[in-house]
Structure 1
Amino acid sequence: MDIVHLYKSMIDAVVAMAGSAALLHVHVGMAIYLATLMVVRNRRGSTIALQVVLAAELGNEAMDWLEGAPQWTWGDTISDFILTMLWPAAITAVGAWRRRRWRKAVAAEPRIAAISSAASRVPPIATT
């Protein structure tokens, strides 16, 4: 048995147990995203984790295409891609937006430097 048919039979068995193939795309996409974050020990919103999910989804769609060439359709592929990538992409986008906002806030804060009493022309609190 070649690897494409073995992969497809495993996926079909999981779908038969779980119920909805569309819902599995959402859950597996998030599971891959979170597992990658744990393995690479990166922060939320990591583009590395998003790239791993993208690679897994493209691999899955390539297997679908190789296995089901006559029944394969663009509509199913686009739907699967959106369902798999939606939440990992949203988390990555929100993380990037929050980091950008935080960096702007930090850059806007006045820098508190150690100023000597002579430079500030304030008399020292205690004199000897």
Structure 2
Amino acid sequence: MIPELYHTFIDWIGDGTGLPDTILHIHAGMAVLMVARIVTRRSLGSFVPWSFVAAAEAFNEIMDRLNFGSWRWADTTSDIANTLFWPTVICLGIRLRPMLLARDAARVKMPDEG
């Protein structure tokens, strides 16, 4: 009952926007990331907002599995990749930025003024 209702709601979103499933997963991943960032007040460089995206995508795929009665691996793996790609890039980019800035600052030393 609940998986069917959930899938009907997801289909309604897809039909209403006219966007393909791939684009909807990208947007959903980014929306969950931003909402989780605001609600938790944690940096996008922490894995806390990212873990909300991973949990939401896991929930979505479990609902798909319950609705269809079996895993559709090609669809499932592409959904996971599309949902998690940009949140992962953002999280790692923000997380690694201080290390890259420190490395660049050490490499480009300014001469002492005086």
Task: Please state which band the TM-score falls in when normalised by the shorter chain.
Answer: 0.7 to 0.9
Q: Equivalent residue of 1:25, what SS?
A: helix
Which structure is higher in helix share? 2
Report the counterpart of residue 111 of structure 2 in structure 1: none
Unaligned 5+ runs, structure 2 = 107-114
C-alpha displacement of 1:100: 2.8
Q: Among the aligned pairs, what percent are the same residue?
A: 35
May I ask how many residue pairs the two structures share in their alignment?
A: 106
Greater gyration radius: 1
Alignment of structure 1 residues 1-128 onto 2, 5 Å: 2-19=1-18, 20-69=20-69, 72-102=71-101
TM-score for the superposition, normalised by structure 2: 0.83
C-alpha displacement of 1:34: 0.6
List 4+ stretches of structure 1 deviating above 3 A.
Answer: 101-107
C-alpha displacement of 1:41: 1.2
Distance 1:38 1:100 in 2: 25
Report Cα offsets for 1:38-84 as digits up to 9, x if no partner. Answer: 111122322100001000000100000110125x4101000000000
C-alpha displacement of 1:5: 0.9
Letter in 2 for 1:24: L
Report the counterpart of residue 126 of structure 1 in structure 2: none
Unaligned 5+ runs, structure 1 = 108-128
C-alpha displacement of 1:103: 6.0
Q: Equivalent residue of 1:26, what SS?
A: helix
